[in-house]
Amino acid sequence: MIISGKAKLAGVMGWPVGHSRSPRLHGFWLEAYGIDGAYVPLAVPPERAAEAIRVLPALGFRGCNVTVPHKEIAAAAVDHLDETARRAGAVNTIVVREDGSLEGRNTDGFGFLENLKAGAPGWTATAGPAVVLGAGGAARAVVASLIDDGAPEVRLLNRTRARAEALAADIGDGVRVFDWVSRETLLADAALVVNTTTQGMHGQPPLDLSLEALAPAAVVTDIVYTPLITPLLAAAHARGNRVVDGLGMLLHQARPGFAAWFGTEPEVTEELRRFVLG
Ligand code: ATR
């Protein structure tokens, strides 16, 4: 697609950034909506990330996405944090305001919830306890979004319990920490099971979790999307549970940024999914 001298600019900043699917994703939408804009990869090493973020307004950028390992650096580098970014302690979306100041947001939790709602129609966070496995960077936004959306309880388990304790202390009421060894006994009355660990990713062993005790109505989701159907999702599907893959979280978290930078509310469609996977 040809861009003009007036093209609206955005991108994704990370290190490395070559594996990011965001340029394909935003590029698809720019073309689909006929927008004169560009969304480019910004490969910036950690020691230059704060500087690169500060210079976005001078370069005329409308903003950018921020990915690993820059999400916490971005939270410290911007001028304003919205509630989602403050709660997550991390920024994945930066918007340059009209006055040239930088606003940091975190749309990962939004993407997580929108993906679940689209993939498991009728599911709501209020349906019952959620079991969240893992307490790394991705878990934080997931846990906060579930609490904010009305989950009666989030049961948080991590191989390293101290990390789960720290996350629970940050998020506050509604999060209960359990020992990793008790993960299977907590499934019986769960309405949702979420894997936020790296287990099940290509090159990693499957998540070690028997679903024997899982309630038939529970929804199972994985934030890992390489492969799209992780061993966890395959096992849940085989039992008859509803499953939601992790690709949609990536697609939905991108919507607010695209709308802010390019002025159009984009849609997540099957065609988009296929294109981003391709
Ligand atoms: P990020 O912060 O980007 O999410 P991370 O900090 O490496 O990534 O987190 C990965 C998650 O996978 C953590 O919850 C990690 O558990 P620890 O905090 O105990 O490291 C989890 N994880 C990684 N390998 C695991 C394994 N073999 N069994 C269970 N959990 C594992």
pLDDT in the model for residue 1: 77
Mutate to test the pocket of ligand 1, among 72, 170, 197 (most ligand atoms within 8 A of CB): 197
Phi, psi angle pair for 245, to nearest 5°: -80, 165
Place of tokens 């390992």: 69
pLDDT in the model for residue 51: 98
Q: Ligand 1 centroid vs 83 CA: distance in angstroms?
A: 26
Take atom 8 of ligand 1 and give the residue whose Cα is closest: 136
Q: What is the mean pLDDT of each run of 10 residues along the chain (278 residues)?
A: 94 96 97 98 98 98 96 97 93 97 97 97 96 94 95 98 96 95 95 97 97 96 96 98 97 98 98 95
- Ligand 1 atom closest to Cα of residue 163: 18
What torsion do the CA atoms of 36, 48, 17, 102 make, to the nearest 10 degrees? Answer: -40
pLDDT in the model for residue 167: 95
**Is any ligand 1 atom within 6 A of the Cβ of residue 198?**
yes
pLDDT in the model for residue 82: 97
**Is any ligand 1 atom within 6 A of the Cβ of residue 158?**
yes
pLDDT in the model for residue 141: 92
pLDDT in the model for residue 12: 98
In terms of Cβ atoms closer than 10 Å to its own Cβ (0-12, 13-18, 19+), residue 274 is exposed
**Is any ligand 1 atom within 6 A of the Cβ of residue 160?**
yes
**Is any ligand 1 atom within 6 A of the Cβ of residue 226?**
no
Q: How far apart are CA 178 and CA 163, in angstroms?
A: 12
**Is any ligand 1 atom within 6 A of the Cβ of residue 89?**
no
Take atom 28 of ligand 1 and give the residue whose Cα is closest: 159
pLDDT in the model for residue 234: 98
Take atom 11 of ligand 1 and give the residue whose Cα is closest: 197
Q: What separation in angstroms does the CA of 248 have from each of 184, 199, 242, 256, 276?
A: 26, 19, 15, 14, 10
**Is any ligand 1 atom within 6 A of the Cβ of residue 69?**
no
pLDDT in the model for residue 215: 94
Q: How far apart are CA 138 and CA 142, in angstroms?
A: 7
Catalytic residues: 71
